[in-house]
């Protein structure tokens, strides 16, 4: 139990002695504040909210409440106007926090809320035969981090790469390949060549609209199982996946399923039949829809007037398949903010079908990756390729290593870890709903609030442990003056907060909570490192400080892992 929870329980017990039984420890915990000045204490409890119930002025309540609060880890309690200010026994708190982390290791901050139940997470989902752009980076890294966060809460994440492997664009691509394609070129550089064919198709179609008709015809052939169309489609899919896997391997992201849109082709008739049975289908201008007027939403299109099914039909089929396959606790869709209405409609249609589990489905939206303030477009060829960005980042790190530490072991591996980490962290330190403007300079700056800064702090702390001859031990013994500095206390306070940060990240599906946290912890540690002689002459003091360093290493490494970054021990 964290010291804030211990204090909250004491305050709750003291309040019940005063006749206030409505504030449990959890509610009190949420009311606790950190005083702006350490001289005012470590924790403050405001009494404004109690004035009505107790019919007393807040300063009177504070004065009466303060003497009722005592026990470990509280050292002193003062009433200061409407606040109860609590001073902690920092030595005992530090010993408790550091000991807990060293005992738990990477499991620190874990909880068994999920009881091992599955959580399918729809993430990444690039389009076949199109490049893996910076736009797809967001869904990939946000989804992967959320999967790690869910795992930290005791769920079993199921990472699903719902590939965009169906649709009229394949008809267009088949037409383009048959007109201008070269098999050898496609085999040599699949994505690059297929993209140029796709871009050329749209350029030519501006002057020759009949190409659009041919594209629709070839997609119809594909749907009808035409041998040539199917052969080309399968080839485009296989070649694209091979290219994508190179990028996923670089980022150390893996999937439990790569069932894309095509997988649900034979599962949609069942959905339409179920909707018909339940009397939910209505005709509208020749199309079949499910009306959602009662939710102030436009109708959900299930079948076009020509009988073709739509995204909604496919996603309904996918939702049913996932529930039947995984019996999920919740299902997450890490998909751009522009799809918000689509998912709202999807969940409401499932609810109308009588599926209670639809309430446990969540769209996790995110903002766009912009270039020069504008949305990237594959169709116009205005796209920044993720593979190029990752390669450039790795090369930049290699140059820094050659400059600063040419004798570093595993140079190639460290350059990959730090370069890729820079790109991932640049995304995840931002709240997911914010748009991000792609910038080489900002992404590849290795100072300030960046992934490499946090990784370097971890490596520096590891180096201290090596120099100090640190021997791991979960038993913590703190001499009186070992951790009595404000810098050490700032580190202890942050270490203690890690489980709560995990909770906030899980409850809000928000990896940026962890991104901001590891920056704060790295900065606090570097102040400690700059102001305190960690490798002190006296062994007992040195060992106590090294134990704090070891706790920082444990938490930084775990925070980085959750975000999808490696934590090199040397840089």
pLDDT confidence of residue 1: 66
CATH number at residue 480: 1.10.730.10
Q: Is residue 34 part of a domain?
A: yes
Same domain, 413 and 511: yes
Same domain, 188 and 81: no
pLDDT confidence of residue 309: 65
Q: Which of 188, 210, 243 is the last residue of a domain?
A: 243
Q: Is residue 226 part of a domain?
A: yes
Same domain, 431 and 547: yes
- Read off the pLDDT of residues 190-237 as tens digits, 9 standing for 90 and up: 888 998 999 999 999 999 999 999 999 999 999 899 999 999 999 999
Same domain, 430 and 556: yes
Q: Is residue 348 part of a domain?
A: no
pLDDT confidence of residue 382: 61
d(CA 449, CA 541): 31
Q: Is residue 308 part of a domain?
A: no
Q: Which of 88, 117, 132 is the last residue of a domain?
A: 88
pLDDT confidence of residue 379: 55
Same domain, 403 and 541: yes
Nearest CA to 390 among 367, 368, 359, 422? 422
Same domain, 50 and 198: no
Torsion of CA 304, 309, 312, 313, to 10 degrees: 130
Q: Residues of the chain whose pLDDT is less than 70?
A: 1, 307-309, 376-383, 444
Q: Are 109 and 497 in contact (CB under 8 A)?
A: no
Domain hosting 214: range is 168-243
* Whether residue 70 has a cis bond before it, omega within 30° of 0: no
Same domain, 554 and 414: yes
Q: Is residue 248 part of a domain?
A: no
Same domain, 423 and 558: yes
Same domain, 418 and 554: yes
Same domain, 548 and 405: yes
pLDDT confidence of residue 383: 65
CATH number at residue 40: 3.30.1360.70
Q: Which of 182, 217, 243 is the last residue of a domain?
A: 243
Q: Is residue 223 part of a domain?
A: yes
Q: Is residue 32 part of a domain?
A: yes
Q: In 3-state terms, what secondary structure has residue 375? A: strand
Q: Is residue 104 part of a domain?
A: no
Same domain, 406 and 548: yes
Domain count, the chain: 3
Q: Residue 331: in which H helix or E strand, if any?
A: strand 331-333
Same domain, 551 and 432: yes
pLDDT confidence of residue 376: 67
pLDDT confidence of residue 135: 73
Q: Which residue has the tokens 């009494």?
A: 47
Q: Is the dihedral of CA 123, 129, 132, 136 positive or negative?
A: negative
């Amino acid at each position: 139990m964290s010291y804030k929870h211990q204090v909250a329980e004491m305050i709750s017990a003291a309040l019940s002695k005063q006749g206030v039984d409505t504030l449990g420890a959890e509610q009190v915990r949420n009311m606790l504040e950190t005083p702006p000045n350490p001289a005012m204490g470590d924790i403050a409890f405001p009494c404004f909210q109690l004035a009505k119930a107790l019919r007393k002025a807040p300063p009177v309540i504070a004065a009466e409440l303060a003497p009722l609060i005592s026990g470990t880890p509280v050292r002193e309690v003062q009433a200061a106007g409407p606040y109860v200010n609590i001073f902690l026994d920092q030595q005992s708190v530090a010993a408790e926090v550091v000991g807990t982390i060293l005992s738990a290791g990477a499991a620190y901050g874990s909880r068994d809320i999920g009881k091992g139940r599955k959580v399918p997470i729809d993430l990444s989902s690039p389009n076949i035969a199109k490049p893996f752009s910076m736009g797809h980076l967001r869904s990939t890294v946000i989804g992967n981090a959320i999967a790690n966060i869910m795992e930290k809460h005791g769920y079993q994440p199921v990472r699903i790469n719902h590939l965009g492997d169906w649709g009229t664009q394949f008809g267009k691509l088949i037409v383009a390949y048959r007109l201008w394609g070269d098999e050898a070129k496609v085999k040599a550089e699949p994505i690059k060549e297929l993209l140029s064919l796709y871009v050329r198709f749209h350029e030519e179609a501006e002057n020759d609209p009949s190409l659009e008709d041919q594209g629709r015809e070839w997609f119809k052939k594909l749907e009808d199982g035409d041998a040539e169309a199917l052969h080309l489609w399968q080839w485009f899919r296989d070649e694209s996946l091979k290219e994508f896997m190179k990028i996923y391997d670089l980022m150390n992201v893996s999937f439990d399923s790569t069932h894309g849109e095509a997988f649900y082709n034979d599962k949609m008739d069942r959905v339409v039949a179920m909707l018909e049975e339940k009397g939910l289908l209505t005709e509208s201008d020749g199309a079949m829809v499910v009306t959602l007027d009662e939710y102030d939403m436009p109708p959900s299109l299930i079948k076009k007037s020509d009988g073709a099914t739509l995204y909604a039909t496919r996603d309904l089929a996918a939702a049913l398949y996932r529930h039947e396959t995984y019996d999920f606790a919740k299902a997450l869709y890490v998909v751009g903010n522009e799809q918000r209405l689509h998912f709202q409609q999807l969940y409401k249609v499932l609810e109308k079908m009588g599926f209670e589990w639809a309430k446990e489905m969540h769209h996790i939206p995110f903002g766009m990756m912009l270039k020069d303030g504008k949305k990237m477009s594959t169709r116009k060829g205005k796209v920044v390729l993720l593979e190029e960005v990752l390669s450039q980042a790795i090369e930049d790190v290699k140059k820094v290593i050659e400059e600063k530490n040419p004798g570093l072991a595993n140079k190639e591996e460290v350059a990959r870890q730090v370069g890729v980490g820079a790109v991932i962290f640049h995304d995840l330190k931002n709240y997911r709903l914010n748009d991000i403007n792609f910038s080489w300079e900002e992404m590849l700056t290795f100072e300030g609030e960046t992934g490499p800064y946090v990784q370097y702090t971890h490596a520096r702390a590891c180096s201290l442990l090596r120099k100090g001859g640190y021997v791991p031990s979960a038993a913590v013994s703190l001499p009186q003056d070992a951790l009595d500095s404000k810098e050490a206390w700032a580190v202890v306070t942050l270490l203690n907060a890690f489980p709560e940060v995990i909770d906030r990240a899980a409850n809000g599906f928000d990896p940026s909570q962890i991104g901001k946290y590891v920056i704060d912890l790295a900065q606090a540690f570097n102040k400690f490192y700059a102001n305190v002689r960690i490798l002190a002459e006296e062994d007992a003091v040195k060992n106590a400080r090294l134990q704090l360093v070891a706790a920082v290493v444990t938490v930084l490494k775990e925070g980085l892992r959750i975000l999808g970054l490696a934590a090199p021990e040397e840089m």
